[in-house]
Amino acid sequence: MVLIYIDQDEQEIKKASFEAICYGAALAKQIGTTAEALLLGTVNDDLTALGKFGVSKVHQVNHLALNRFDALVNAQVVAEAAKKLGATVIVFAHNINGKAVAPAVAVKLGAGLVAGACALPNTAAGFVVTKTVFSGKAFASIQIETPVKVISINQNSFGVTVGEGTASVESLTVDVPTSKSKIKITSVDKIKGEVPLTEANIVVSGGRGLKGPENWGILLALAKALGASTACSRPVSDADWRPHHEHVGQTGLQIAPNLYIAIGISGAIQHLAGVNRSKTIVVINKDPEAPFFKAADYGVVGDAFEVVPALTAAILKSKAGA
Ligand SMILES: Cc1cc2nc3c(=O)[nH]c(=O)nc-3n(C[C@H](O)[C@H](O)[C@H](O)COP(=O)(O)OP(=O)(O)OC[C@H]3O[C@@H](n4cnc5c(N)ncnc54)[C@H](O)[C@@H]3O)c2cc1C
């Protein structure tokens, strides 16, 4: 059986989980087994609706302590659940939580792990999983030889297919080792009113080309018109033009929105490492030779101070039905 880990935050299923389910379901079909999901804690979402993504059953470890993420506790519970259910492949989304839990689960189960897979395994001879390496610049194909296998799937690399069907929900009893937690959370500061960058569908991002924090108004207006979250390049957050939680890239957040609009960002490899899994990339840069254009689906060569307000006005006009 293929077991898919459902990631949740504040009792909402994270969108990366839907793609992980679709991947797990396709893999189960390929190897002739069933796909089932595992949820730790409780969520407000309708769990039976996960059947639309391809699972027949959702196992729920209904323990309130699990509503607060703790990688070590979660790994212990997932490993125990996987053993109890007889899972042979465990699939995670390769997001912040998945990256923390999947390797620990693999260690606990003595399972081979491929972190950051980008395609279904080749099971014609063995079990070979392809993953991205060197910040998405190359691919590696890795054979997993252990009986139990763990895979985390890169966001936006497989896609989400919504079908028909409902999943049954079953309660699963597993020991929740809260006393073994080595992490004590003393306070949580949440940014209010913004969609977290890792969950955002549309992201509008700015770089040093915007010249200074006083010019961010044009970017914020575009983001508001699109209902987008905002991000920035590293020098921008290093200079305190924007808060550090907006920094995307190799050393910042890695995101995979449906639409990423890069304004005045050169497209250095370290920046691309955090955004190159976006479905559609739009680049606005006054330098036609800017490296970002090579990674762009659409590009506008022009001055951001002219292009961005014009784009915002056009979007608002179209929204108003004019
Ligand atoms: C180990 C390491 C890790 C790093 N990690 C990250 C990371 O996680 N994220 C990250 O972003 N960077 C990272 N960097 C830095 C990275 O190498 C680049 O220096 C950085 O991304 C450049 O930021 P930028 O594109 O905003 O600025 P610049 O490189 O200065 O580019 C500004 C761009 O704006 C354009 N421009 C200027 N004026 C206008 C205008 N009026 N209209 C339109 N376009 C205009 C220019 O043509 C230029 O392309 C890292 C570097 C190292 C060494």
- Across 210-229, average pLDDT: 97
Percent of the chain with pLDDT over 70: 99
Q: Which of 250, 260, 300 to mutate to test the pocket of ligand 1 (most atoms within 8 A of CB)?
A: 250
Task: Give the Cα separation of 97 and 12 in Å (integer).
Answer: 14
- Start-end of H helices in the chain: 16-31, 71-85, 96-109, 217-226, 234-238, 269-275, 292-295, 304-319
Residue 215 has pLDDT above 70, yes or no: yes
Residues with CB under 6 A from ligand 1: 207-209, 233-236, 249-252, 264-266, 268, 270-271, 274, 284-287, 290, 303-305
Read off the pLDDT of residues 232-273 as tens digits, 9 standing for 90 and up: 999 999 999 999 999 999 999 999 899 999 999 999 999 999
SS3 label, residue 148: coil
The atom of ligand 1 lying closest to the CA of 303 is 42
- Across 279-294, average pLDDT: 97
Least confident among 68-72, 108-112, 167-171, 222-226: 68-72
The atom of ligand 1 lying closest to the CA of 251 is 8
Q: What are phi and psi of 84, to 5 degrees?
A: -60, -40
